[in-house]
Structure 1
């Protein structure tokens, strides 16, 4: 159970980070530079779903592995930074 939670968290982290980077690096420039808001609508919806899944994954990991509040706060903060979930995942993998 714990191993599958780690794998699930890793995949959600990667997908959330990728969707955020696509939103910032592709969809937002298309919207503001080329007046094409459709990309933000689609990508934003996908990213919103993955962001929610990432928060659920943090809650699952916090319960299973008894994360301290500082780690939980850091994991949530990572979601707001480009590459943040990737850095967090790398740190968790190094600790294991």
Structure 2
């Protein structure tokens, strides 16, 4: 489950960055909203999966409630999921 969470966290982080730096400017500067709808839907699904998996992984990694809150907060901060991956998830080979 941890490996799946790592993959979802990276994808969620990428989708957030795509929204902030590519699709939002396309929507509001160039009045082209289609990419925002597509990436926004993918980001929403990835966000929900990230939250559920974080709660599941909490028990596997024996996180306390404070750590879980930090991991959850990382999902809404740009580059947060990448930092969370390095700090809170074990390295796999």
TM-score, normalising length: structure 1: 0.89
In 1, distance between residues paired with 2:90 and 2:28?
Answer: 39
Cα deviation 1:15-39 (Å, max 9, x = unaligned): 0000000011110000000001111
Runs of 5+ unmatched residues, structure 2? none
For 2:89 and 2:70, how far apart are their aligned partners in 1?
15
Q: Distance in 1 between matches of 2:81 and 2:53?
A: 12
Aligned to 1:67: 63
- Give the total of aligned pairs: 92
RMSD: 1.6
2 CA distance for matches of 1:34 and 1:26? 11
TM-score, scaled relative to structure 2: 0.91
Tell whether 2:29 aligns with 1:33.
yes
CA distance in 1, matches of 2:69, 2:32: 35
Q: Name which of structure 1's ranges 72-81 and 57-66 shifts more when overlaid on structure 2.
A: 57-66
Structure with greater helix percent: 1
Give the deviation of 1:81 after TM superposition: 0.5
Map of 2:84 onto structure 1: 88
Unmatched runs of 5 consecutive residues or more in structure 1: none
- Counterpart-to-counterpart distance in 1, 2:91 and 2:69: 18
